[in-house]
Structure 1
Amino acid sequence: MTTEKNAHMDLSTDGGSGSTNDEYEEYADLGATTSDAMEIAESSMDRVRELVPDETLEDRLRQKAVHATGDPEFQHLVRFAGDPVRTGARAVLSEQPIVTDITMVKAGITGRGHQCPVKKAIGNGSELAAETGMTRTAASVLELDRQGVYDDAIATIGNAPTAALALADCIESGTRPAAIVATPVGFIKAAESRNRIRAVATEYGVPAITTVGRRGGSGLAAGLTNELVHVASDVRDGKVTLETAPTEANRHDHREVER
């Protein structure tokens, strides 16, 4: 069995998840493995479930958004295009890659409950960035797309709006991730980039989880992706099924406006 230390080391490379044998390490929310840590994690989620509905798989992602941000209003800011919870969980079960935009998001992806390779885009495409002047994250997405990395993968973007915009361009050109998690944060292009992801995801049938407004970030993106792993773990353990059609997947408070 892989130790927690080795699992962390595996995640720091592009080699894959924290599992190194045929056994899946049990999914542990937020990495909690000791009795005290598990009690804190469970108590926290119990409080979240008092604030957020617990009826659908989509509700689990809304709960995770609240859990990751500490803000109950985030449940109203999550948007779903298509059926990303089920397609994302199936991608985890099929051991497809999880591809993040930056190292911080990659570091937040759990090493338990899956055997998916975990890769980061940043660090690729340096020559393209130097030649064109585009951001390193945008260039890295385009380079990985050129290599075919994003097809059938879970594409997770938690920091860089330009990475999300580049991914949207790739989708328009034919790239088809299994699911997208996009929560880039900031005042410049963040809301615009998520609007664009939602638009191309809807137009081309690519399942996506996004949030509206300026808020988001690496921790939120990692948390939402980890919940896809958690759903997959529950499917593997026979606790939930992916066969039920999504119910009110796009339910949200219409009083919330795009900001």
Structure 2
Amino acid sequence: MTTNTNDATDGDANGEDDFEEYADLGATTSNAMDIAETSMDRVRELVPDETLADRIRQKSVHATGDPEFQYLMRFTGADEDEPVRAGARAVLDEQPIVTDITMVKSGITGRGHDCPVQKAIGNGAELAAETGMTRTAASVLELDKQGVYDGAIAVVGNAPTAALALADCIEDGTRPSVVVATPVGFVKAAESRQRLREVAAEYGVPAITNVGRRGGSGLAAGLTNELVHVASDVREGTVSLDE
């Protein structure tokens, strides 16, 4: 299971915008920035740095400490960059970021965006008790009934059943701006991501996922934070979302 990503959620406001400036890997001091920049420079020696999708691959390698993880990433859309563009636009539009569990929510940076961030877990308790489904699946279905996932950045970092429930919601008409799904484990994890990819492709929902058993909350948070970073670069004029 992937560990945390070191994307901190505190820092000093930049004084110019309503949000706090994004600092890569959570760095705020000069020493921390040197470490962060050196770390990412080493990652870029191992992963291409040509496309928006490459930035997600780089973040996956950094989050897992495994250069081979870049080859496990999958991008659902008209091209590989589409889900990154969609995610960055959603950040710029201040769409909600909805995670499956608390750990993923805790890893989402508090800088560089004004998106409301909420977790699904804790909702749908009655549905779980009545049906016997997992709490995470029931939570996703409950929030979906409230329309929370339409237009949102939907993030699943832990629970395969949450990913399967989200796929059902998309099949029934829900349209997140983008899906980031890296549920981890030996039971239904790979299958849940495969189903999400298939449903997302069928209904035109951009998605970032991975193959295999690995994944986890830290990875999901790190990938989502990279969407925030791309949006920050767009805001600064150093990156364009034009196709």
C-alpha distance in 2, partners of 1:183/1:23? 31
The one-letter amino acid of 2:174's match is T
Pick aligned residue for 1:76 from 67, 71, 74:
71
Identity among equivalent pairs (%): 82
Deviation at 1:22? 4.9
Q: Which of these residues, 23, 48, 51, is aligned with residue 28 of structure 1?
A: 23
Aligned position for 2:61: 66
Q: Which residue number in structure 2 is paired with residue 188 of structure 1?
A: 187
How far apart, in 1, do the equivalents of 2:139 and 2:148 lie? 11
CA distance in 2, matches of 1:188, 1:30: 31
Partner of 1:105: 104
CA distance in 1, matches of 2:112, 2:160: 29
In structure 2, how many angstroms separate the alpha carbons of the residues matched to 1:29 and 1:139? 34
Deviation, 1:32, is 1.1
Distance 1:136 1:23 in 2: 35
Asked if the contact 1:30–1:110 (Cα under 8 Å) also holds between the matched residues in 2, the reply is: no
The aligned residue for residue 257 of structure 1 is none
Which one-letter code corresponds to 1:61 in the other structure?
I
Give the distance between the partners of 2:240 and 2:37, measured in 1 at CA.
22
Return the alpha-carbon distance in structure 2 between the equivalents of residues 101 and 29 of structure 1.
24
Which residue identity is paired with 2:72?
Answer: L
> Aligned to 1:150, what secondary structure does the other structure show?
coil
Residue 155 of structure 2 aligns to a residue in which SS?
strand
The corresponding residue for 2:34 is: 39
Letter in 1 for 2:23: A
Which aligned pairs between 1:89-238 and structure 2 lie closer than 5 A? 89-238=88-237
| Structure 1: 5+ residue stretches without partners | 1-6, 9-17, 246-259
What is the number of equivalent residue pairs in this alignment? 228
SS at match of 1:107: helix
SS at the partner of 1:80?
Answer: strand
Amino acid at match of 1:121: A
Give the equivalent residue in structure 1 for 2:6: none
| C-alpha distance in 2 between matches for 1:22 and 1:113 | 9
In structure 2, the residue corresponding to 1:169 is in which secondary structure?
A: helix
Distance in 1, Cα, partners of 2:136 & 2:25: 26
Q: Quote how far apart the aligned CAs of 1:24 are.
A: 2.4
How far does the alpha carbon of each residue in 1:116-167 deviate from its partner, in whole angstroms, 9 at most, with x for none?
Answer: 0000000000000011000000000000000000000000000000000000
Cα deviation, residue 25, structure 1: 1.4
What is the root-mean-square deviation in Å for CA atoms of aligned residues?
Answer: 1.4
1:129 alignment partner AA:
A
Secondary structure at 2:168 match in 1: helix
Residue 29 (structure 1) shift: 1.7
TM-score of the aligned structures, taking structure 2 as reference length: 0.92
2:49 matched to which residue of 1? Answer: 54
In 2, the alpha carbon distance for the partners of 1:229 and 1:202 equals 23
Q: What is the CA distance between 1:235 and its match in structure 2? A: 0.2
**What is the Cα deviation at residue 40 of structure 1?**
1.0
Extract unaligned runs of 5+ from structure 2: 1-8
Give, in whole Å, the separation in 1 of the partners of 2:71 and 2:223: 15
